[in-house]
Amino acid sequence: MMIDPFPPAFIFFIGAGLLLCMPKGNLRALIGIIVPIITALVIWELPNGIGSELEFAGLALEMMRVDKLSVIFGLVFCLAAFLGNLYAWHVKDTIQQVAALGYAGSAIGAVFAGDFITLFIYWEGTAIASVFLIWARRTEGAFYTGMRYLVIQIASGVILLAGVVLLYRETGSITFEKMELGTLATWLIFLSFGIKCAFPLLHNWLQDSYPAATITGTVILSAFTTKLAVYALARGFPGTELLIYIGAVMTVFPVFLAEIENDLRRVLAYSLNNQLGFMVVGVGIGTEMSLNGTASHAFAHILYKALLFMSVGAVLFRTGTSKASELGGLYRTMPLTAIFCLVGAASISAFPLFSGFVTKSLILDASAENHYMIVWGMLVFASAGVLSHSGIKIPFFTFFAHDSGKRPAEAPTHMLWAMGITAALCILVGVFPEPLYALLPYKVDYHAYTTYHVVGQLQLLLFALLAFVFLMRTGIHPPEVRAINLDTDVLYRRFLPTLITRLGNIISGVWMLGTWFAKGKADKFVKTLHNSHGPEGRMARVWPTGAMVLWIAIILSATLIVNFI
């Protein structure tokens, strides 16, 4: 018998509706943290294999499909919403509070979608809700950044819809299931997922928009959009080899851009791109181990990335800046925030006993076992790089580098609670990974804490640390200075418009030259005709009226002769 459970996403939407009906105050903030708890309990009780269908326009929409892959992403999205809203307890802005719940609800709805139409609706829902977290900063720069973000996110949905229409025309099905690249439909769907996952050359919206959002909005943004795209890839394109190489590039190129970046929230945005690459590689390999690695790493990443954004956000909240060149020495007055930041740094760097170690190693081992040795080497290099730009740079330049002279107060209590819970979860997952492994899509027969893994990772981290010290001591490390660093978006934001303008000028010049030449020839031809056939022309003077009548008679006679012949 078909069971129609209540879609968990609707709990978030009901909560958002309640917020609109309530006056500003702590009750709104309380709803913001109660709704994710209730939703997580509902998801936890959902048995695998059940679903909820709805007939619409002759199509069977599978509003809910419950399996272990959707459950783990649904649970971590609820956890991220709870922590993000606890961190944002002080926010009294209706727009941010409603947008946060609508955004999280749309992401949760998408991971339970069993068909492409339902996925598309929630896909665009995440775009529309999340942009308000950027606009809520209420600056001119945030407005324009939000517009660019919205255009790109909506474009991703439009491309997805186009692919779905073509897929339905080819197969007669809209079921969201595993696909093979090979048709225009699947390539369009793949591109749509890639835009939201911030593939190379499609990634710039991430570094532009996340640092432009509000302090709390950035924490919430970091959890949902890109991880939803990872889920979509894991559901739709597992084992697609192209993803292995795309993911490998994603892990490497942000390392260099993050090293020269001065804005610490942009550094974390590049670091987010780097970590997404590991997950994409896991999807591309497509084995049970690698897909488990992708799901578990997404879970761990949401936690430690949120923790790092929280700690930098707390500093920005107290000091008014997140520029590394303007910070330093804050451990004196913000010691708890510094400790929580160090926990996040250790987790993203995959130190043993922290969450990143027990999740990232699944993907690394899967790449080695499947003989992708070059890719494995790129992942190892990227692991060392992330220690440098996120594991060391973020806490060092924020809390322990030169004394900036700033003596801000410690972060507010609710922010400390949010960071403390997140830090505790990062440590618990690292020390006791079995509960997380039990949630993964496939059975896990893996032990992270072997001598080989622990020693190898410690060696990697030690050499990366020594490299950082060497670069700092010798002055080779890029200095933290106020600057504008160019990314690949300069190609279409500056060079492409310049190229189009110059091509337009060339085409306009050629057109004007051709028009001038043609006009000159036409004027000359008209003048010649006027000279010969005008009232004062030679033909008018030479041929009298009688001659003209004679010629008409001759032509008419010739016509009659030809006709009768």
If you ran DSSP here, which 8-state letter would residue 175 be given? B
* For the chain, domain boundaries: 1-231, 238-432, 489-529, 534-565
CB 219 within 8 A of CB 310: yes
SS3 content of the chain, % helix, strand, coil (to 5): 75, 5, 25
pTM given for the model: 0.86
- Dist. CA 233–CA 104, nearest whole Å: 19
Residue 2 has what pLDDT? 46
Residue pair 386/271 in contact (Cβ under 8 Å)? The answer is yes
Q: Which amino acid is at 308?
A: L
DSSP assignment of 200-225: TTS-HHHHHHTTTS-HHHHHHHHHHH
pLDDT along the chain (565 residues), means of 10: 70 92 85 94 86 71 88 96 95 92 95 92 94 93 92 94 93 90 94 94 88 93 94 94 94 85 90 93 94 95 95 94 88 94 93 92 92 92 85 88 87 95 96 94 90 87 81 70 65 72 84 84 74 61 62 78 70
Please tell me the predicted confidence (pLDDT) of residue 432. 94
Closest CA to 228 of 274, 181, 196, 192: 196
Name the nearest CA neighbour of 126 among 225, 213, 223: 225
- Cα torsion for 308, 314, 315, 320, to the nearest 10°? 130
446/249 Cα distance (integer angstroms)? 27
Q: Choose among 192, 197, 209, 346: nearest CA to 273.
A: 197
Alpha-carbon distances of 143 from 104, 133, 269, 279, rounded to whole Å = 22, 11, 19, 31
Q: Comparing C-alpha atoms, which of 265, 279, 251 is closest to residue 76?
A: 279
Q: What string of DSSP letters covers 412-478?
A: PHHHHHHHHHHHHHHHHHHH--HHHHHHSSS-----S-SHHHHHHHHHHHHHHHHHHHHHHHHT-SP
Q: How many CB atoms lie within 10 A of CB 89?
A: 20
φ, ψ (nearest 5 deg) of residue 263: -75, 115
φ, ψ of residue 57 to 5 degrees: the values are 55, 40
φ, ψ for residue 318, nearest 5 deg: -85, -30
Handedness of CA 305, 306, 310, 313 (dihedral sign): positive
**Buried-state track 54-74, b at ≥16 Cβ within 10 A, e below 16:** eeeeeeebbbbbbbebbbbbb
Distance CA 132, CA 117 (A): 24
What pLDDT does residue 467 have? 78
Q: Are 410 and 336 in contact (CB under 8 A)?
A: yes
Cα–Cα dist 17/167, whole Å: 35
At 4 the pLDDT is: 63
239: left (phi over 0), alpha (psi -120 to 50) or beta: left
User: Rounded to whole angstroms, what are the CA distances from 421 to 82, 305, 343?
Assistant: 11, 14, 11
Who's near 398: CB < 8 A, 6+ residues apart? 264, 311, 312, 315, 324, 327, 328, 330, 338, 341
What's the gap between Cα 412 and its chain centre? 30
The closest of 307, 293, 403, 246 to 72, measured between CA atoms, is: 293
Residue 278: closest CA among 357, 341, 179: 357
DSSP label of 388: I
DSSP string, 466-513: HHHHHHHHHT-SPP--------TTHIIIIIHHHHHHHHHHHHHHHHHH
Which H/E stretch holds residue 56? strand 51-56
HEC profile of 283-338: HHHCCHHHHHHHHHHHHHHHHHHHHHHHHHHHHHHHHCCCEHHHCCCHHHCCHHHH
In 88-201, which residue ranges form alpha helices assigned H by DSSP?
A: 94-111, 116-135, 140-171, 184-196
Encoding tokens for residue 5? 């459970």
Buried b (16+ CB within 10 A) or exposed e, 417-439: ebbebbbebbeebbeebeebbeb
Contact predicate 267/102, CB 8 Å: no
